[in-house]
Amino acid sequence: MKKPRTYQTEAIIIKKIKLGEADRILTFYTPYLGKIRGVAKSVRRLKSKLAGHLELLTHSHVSLARGRNLDTVIGSQTINSFLQLKNDFELTSYALYIIELVNQFTPDGNENYPLYQLLLDSLHQLSQASNRELLLHYFELHLLDQVGYRPQLQQCTYCHTNLKPASNAFSPITGGVVCPDCYSRQPLSYPLSVDILKVLRFIQNNDYPLANRLKINHDLSRKIHNIMSGYLRYLLEKELKSVAWLDKIRKQKEGATTGII
């Protein structure tokens, strides 16, 4: 049966690029179609009625018409514009990091409902999160789970023995933890204290309300950040654009406060 010419979907706008004089190509993450793209015609013109419903980070109902190469956005109705995220520079940076990760780790047209839900929940939680770094780590670990790169935190990824409470290490190349005996065979590893391993396991194995109860001091949070960003950089073979902004904000905060995040 021929597919209908137009279709509707709920979507979160995760990327936009300029096209020609007044158009944009938008990337949407959707619950049942995965990542899709569409051209929004004339949205860069002042009088565009669609433009406000097609901003980055907006949760919308969109209508598209199938095209030979790219589909065309023919309608959009905002469900949630996430204004709180857009009105705060720091929150915007965290949110842009989240959507960039989703864009980088997903192929086009591959349905992944749990990942859609994780993305939507995380954008909702971000403005209320008492510990934004913890929320990011939660998002990173659960995203990796959904896209097939769940870090192995129970057994040594080299010799497969169960990990002991000792000085283990995290090895991006093997996708998880290596035991002290195998550490020397994986020189590009990050030292992993018993505390960090416990925190990573707890975040990986629980939902956000429970993970959010963790109290993590600044030092531990920074070490987890180093490990996660090292692993993500290894998997993507590049640095994300939003990372530079986030690191700048982190440094500013470090300068402003010496206490616990």
**What residues make contact with Zn ion under the rule CB under 5 A?**
156, 158-159, 179, 182
Question: Dihedral (C-alpha) 246, 129, 28, 22: value to the nearest 10 degrees?
Answer: -60
Residue 198 CB, nearest approach to Zn ion (Å): 19
Choose between 7 and 158: whose C-beta lies nearer to Zn ion. 158
Choose between 122 and 186: whose C-beta lies nearer to Zn ion. 186
Choose between 81 and 155: whose C-beta lies nearer to Zn ion. 155
Residue 185 CB, nearest approach to Zn ion (Å): 8
Phi, psi of 99 (to 5 degrees): -75, -30
Residue 163 CB, nearest approach to Zn ion (Å): 8
Q: Can you tell me the distance from the alpha carbon of 50 to that of 48, in angstroms, rounded to the nearest whole number? A: 5
- Residue 220's CB: how many other CB atoms inside 10 A? 18
- The total number of residues shown for the chain amounts to 261
Phi, psi of 217 (to 5 degrees): -80, 170
Taking a C-beta distance cutoff of 8 angstroms, is the pair 156, 178 a contact?
yes
Choose between 188 and 236: whose C-beta lies nearer to Zn ion. 188
Choose between 101 and 182: whose C-beta lies nearer to Zn ion. 182
For 256, the token pair is 């402003």
168 Cβ contact list (under 8 Å, min separation 6): 156, 177, 178, 179, 180, 183, 192, 197
Please compute, for residue 34, the number of CA atoms within 13 A of its CA located in the half-sphere on the CB side.
Answer: 12
Residue 180 CB, nearest approach to Zn ion (Å): 8
Choose between 158 and 245: whose C-beta lies nearer to Zn ion. 158
Report helix, strand or coil for 63: strand
Choose between 36 and 182: whose C-beta lies nearer to Zn ion. 182
Residue 137 CB, nearest approach to Zn ion (Å): 25
Nearest-5° angle of CA 60, CA 62, CA 68?
145
14 Cβ contact list (under 8 Å, min separation 6): 27, 28, 29, 35, 56, 99, 100, 102, 103
Residue 156 CB, nearest approach to Zn ion (Å): 3
Report helix, strand or coil for 92: helix
Taking a C-beta distance cutoff of 8 angstroms, is the pair 18, 54 a contact?
no
Residue 192 CB, nearest approach to Zn ion (Å): 13
